[in-house]
């Protein structure tokens, strides 16, 4: 466990390219949120407008009916949006694993080749996304049912409205989700001929998921506090700050993806975990480069 933390943080700190898949997924999720808000405003304006016989538009007096129609359209679109968000992060998980494998094999990591390697797994991406969404919906339904049930104690219903309680329950739910889904996630990252995972890997993956989720919640709280003190005049500045904050909040997920990739690539047994990445010796690299350059010119070094 300690070795995995050390190895994951080592890759997290040294290779910025490993940040790209999760960061891109976070920005795409942010854009989906903006698109959803724009859709709501457009649908509300469309359903509240009535066409007059003179060719113009007049506002509808039945605002409640218009809002009901908007909700009937937004609910299925919101479900599709949630599914796309999960797909984005599943693709980011596989992309991170491919990049980690390139780094361990001492190959130059590239996003184009990484994304090309994901295309044959599109069915597995969709199936895992559906499984994740179904499990998450089941846990969310249980929580909502317990919190809103008239049989629940009054103090429990009061606590359910507090952020601290929601964060705590969220971490518990994240632990349950991780325990159920980590094996499937690791098998998704492994080659077909060696898709196995031991109980130890399941425990480590679940622990990583809960810890990184706690880190994301802490960063979300701190970023929210910082945003409250900043006033921006331009829309593009607000969009840029939102993108940067989204990357910061999701940075612990990068560490989780790296850890899951290492768990999928590791070889459990007598040899233990994957060997740590050696420290970069830039002096030796420079000498090797000069040696190759002189050999290319036909000189002896």
In DSSP notation, 218-268 reads HHHHHHHHHHHT----SHHHHHHHHHHHHHHHTHHHHHHHHHHHHHHH---
End-to-end CA distance of the chain: 45
pLDDT tens for residues 18-40? 999 999 999 999 999 888 888 88
pLDDT tens for residues 212-245? 888 888 888 888 888 777 776 777 778 888 888 8
Identify the pLDDT of residue 267: 42
Q: State both tokens at 23.
A: 């960061």
Phi, psi of 299 (to 5 degrees): -95, 160
pLDDT tens for residues 105-125? 888 888 888 888 888 888 999
Report whether 171 contacts 214 (CB < 8 A): yes
What mean pLDDT is reported for the chain?
A: 78
**pLDDT band with cut points at 50, 70 and 90 for residue 268:** very low
Specify the 3-state DSSP secondary structure of 49.
Answer: strand
Overall size of the chain counted in residues: 301
CA separation for the pair 273, 7 (Å, rounded):
10
Q: What is the pTM (predicted TM-score) of this model?
A: 0.78
Question: With the C-alpha atoms ordered 20, 25, 31, 37, is the resulting torsion angle positive or negative?
Answer: negative
pLDDT tens for residues 145-173? 766 666 555 655 555 556 676 777 778 77
CA separation for the pair 183, 188 (Å, rounded):
9
Range of the domain at 141: 2-297
Q: pLDDT > 70: what percent of the chain?
A: 73
Inform me whether the pLDDT recorded for 41 exceeds 70.
yes
Report whether 80 contacts 46 (CB < 8 A): no
Number of structural domains (the chain) is 1
Identify the pLDDT of residue 175: 83
Average pLDDT on 260-265 reads: 89
């Amino acid at each position: 466990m300690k070795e995995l933390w050390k190895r994951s943080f080592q890759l997290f700190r040294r290779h910025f390219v490993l940040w790209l898949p999760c960061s891109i997924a976070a920005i795409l999720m942010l854009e989906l949120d903006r698109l959803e808000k724009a859709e709501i405003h457009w649908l509300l304006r469309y359903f509240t407008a009535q066409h007059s016989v003179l060719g113009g538009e007049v506002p509808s007096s039945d605002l409640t009916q218009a809002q009901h129609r908007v909700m009937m359209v937004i609910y299925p679109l919101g479900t599709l949006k949630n599914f796309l968000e999960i797909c984005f992060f599943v693709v980011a998980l596989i992309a991170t694993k491919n990049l980690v494998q390139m780094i361990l094999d001492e190959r130059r990591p590239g996003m184009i080749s990484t994304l090309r390697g994901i295309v044959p797994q599109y069915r597995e991406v969709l199936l895992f996304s559906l499984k994740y969404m179904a499990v998450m919906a089941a846990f969310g339904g249980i929580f909502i049912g317990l919190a809103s049930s008239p049989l629940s104690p009054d103090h429990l219903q009061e606590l359910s409205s507090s952020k601290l309680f929601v964060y705590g329950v969220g971490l518990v739910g994240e632990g349950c989700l991780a325990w159920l889904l980590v094996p499937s996630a690791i098998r998704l990252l492994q080659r077909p001929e060696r898709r196995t995972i031991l109980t130890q890997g399941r425990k480590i993956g679940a622990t990583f998921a809960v810890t990184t989720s706690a880190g994301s919640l802490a960063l979300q709280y701190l970023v929210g506090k910082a945003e409250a003190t900043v006033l921006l005049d331009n829309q593009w500045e607000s969009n840029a700050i939102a993108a940067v904050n989204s990357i910061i909040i999701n940075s612990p997920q990068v560490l989780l993806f790296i850890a899951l990739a290492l768990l999928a690539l590791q070889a459990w047994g007598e040899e233990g975990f994957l060997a740590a990445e050696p420290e970069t010796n830039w002096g030796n690299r420079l000498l090797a480069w000069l040696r190759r350059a002189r050999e290319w010119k036909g000189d002896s070094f």
